[in-house]
A and B are shown apart, each in its own frame.
Chain A
């Protein structure tokens, strides 16, 4: 730019020089807040620019995040569902473990209470035929189990060992139609025989017509058959009917929920009747 051109644009030059002076002065003078005017003005201008830029960036970022979020929401939703299902399964497992622990605790309490030598066993299978009510447990002869050992649960009598193998054993439930046990009514001490009928209820037979039996009475084992220890709970009298001139027809609701069994105790201590029988055999 020649001097002539500069002279033709003297106004611009004047404005530029004046602006330069203003800036120069502003840089040296403090504003009312104590900050140099140039700094205050520059900061103010830049702050506004930064504010605008920040708003713009935030807007773009927010839009992008929302867009990205929408893109990932389906995938995230599926992942969350899977996690929820996993958590639900885990919760069920933990609940089952808690229930099992509670059941084991009850078994432990029963063992301590009975003062009998027992061994805990886990139910690993149920009956192979619907006509028979049996269970399979994970303990066998290797654990000292033998035929006709009593199997009990915290609720009461379960059944007896009918077929032991090395590491498992078949248990005949008390409700099996071939099962029976000596019983007595705890309140009146009336004796009889509890028999399974293949259903959910038991029948208490051979109870004298003159015996004092009422609905709700507790029925326990008498131990007379030599299998079940005396005094273990069988159930409660459900119905009492007159069956004939000599006996009453009594049904008993088992104390044990056979469909909900998971662990049982096998009584290793032989009953006195069994010991006597064994001694006689020997």
Chain B
């Protein structure tokens, strides 16, 4: 059931990424909705789910793009795995920690992506620092907002608590 929800979330993020971001992006500020979903899932479900979500989402994203298939997948796998660990080892329930996690996750994601590009001799980005910073900021904002939106939904908190309780039993 959770796998289906994660898959659906990833698919929705891909659809939104390919349709809506062109209206949202301005200048160097870009948002990777797929990465946001991966980090969100990892924070909510743990490292394994985050890892698998990152793998699937990254590979699909790579396939749909023109780059080397696997770079995005690897980056999102690492990010999902580490985000899951952070979500289980630390209390990430307030907006600021979530913002930092999304921001840091994006930095790591971009570092891995750009680093692999450099290692493999791929064409470098024009201004990586500004782009990375802008994307990290945008992802953090969108991710934090997504958390807040979900938690504000009616009964969302209760459902989340009940789910955690069942898991512990």
Given contacts A24-B73, A25-B74, 13 further A-B contacts (CB under 8 A): A7-B47, A17-B77, A18-B74, A18-B77, A21-B55, A21-B71, A21-B74, A21-B77, A25-B68, A25-B69, A25-B71, A29-B120, A37-B120
B81 at interface, CB cutoff 8 A? yes
Q: Are A10 and B70 in contact (CB under 8 A)?
A: no
How many of B's residues come within 8 Å of A, CB to CB?
A: 20
A14-B68 CB under 8 A given contacts A25-B120, A29-B120: no
Q: Are A25 and B116 in contact (CB under 8 A)?
A: yes
B136 at interface, CB cutoff 8 A? no
User: What is the CB-to-nearest-CB distance from A21 to chain B, in angstroms, rounded to a whole number?
Assistant: 4
Interface of A is mostly: helix
Interface of B is mostly: helix
Could you say which of A3, A6, A10, A29 contacts B81, with CB atoms under 8 Å apart? A10
**In the complex, per-residue mask of B66-82: 1 if CB is within 8 Å of any chain A CB, else 0:** 00111101100110010
Could you say which of A10, A18, A21, A24 contacts B48, with CB atoms under 8 Å apart? A10
A24-B70 CB under 8 A given contacts A6-B48, A10-B47: yes
The complex places the Cα of A14 from the Cα of B47 at a distance, in Å, of 9
> Which residues of B114-135 have CB atoms within 8 Å of chain A's CB atoms?
116, 120-122
Q: Which of A7, A25, A37 lies at the interface centre, i.e. has the most chain B CB atoms within 10 A of its CB?
A: A25
Which A residues are CB-close (under 8 A) to B70? 21-22, 24-25, 28
User: What is the CB-to-nearest-CB distance from A97 to chain B, in angstroms, rounded to a whole number?
Assistant: 81
User: What is the CB-to-nearest-CB distance from A101 to chain B, in angstroms, rounded to a whole number?
Assistant: 83
The complex places the Cα of A37 from the Cα of B119 at a distance, in Å, of 12
A13 at interface, CB cutoff 8 A? yes
Q: Are A10 and B74 in contact (CB under 8 A)?
A: no
B87 at interface, CB cutoff 8 A? no
The complex places the Cα of A17 from the Cα of B81 at a distance, in Å, of 11
A10-B51 CB under 8 A given contacts A18-B74, A21-B77: yes
B46 at interface, CB cutoff 8 A? yes
Q: Are B73 and A7 in contact (CB under 8 A)?
A: no
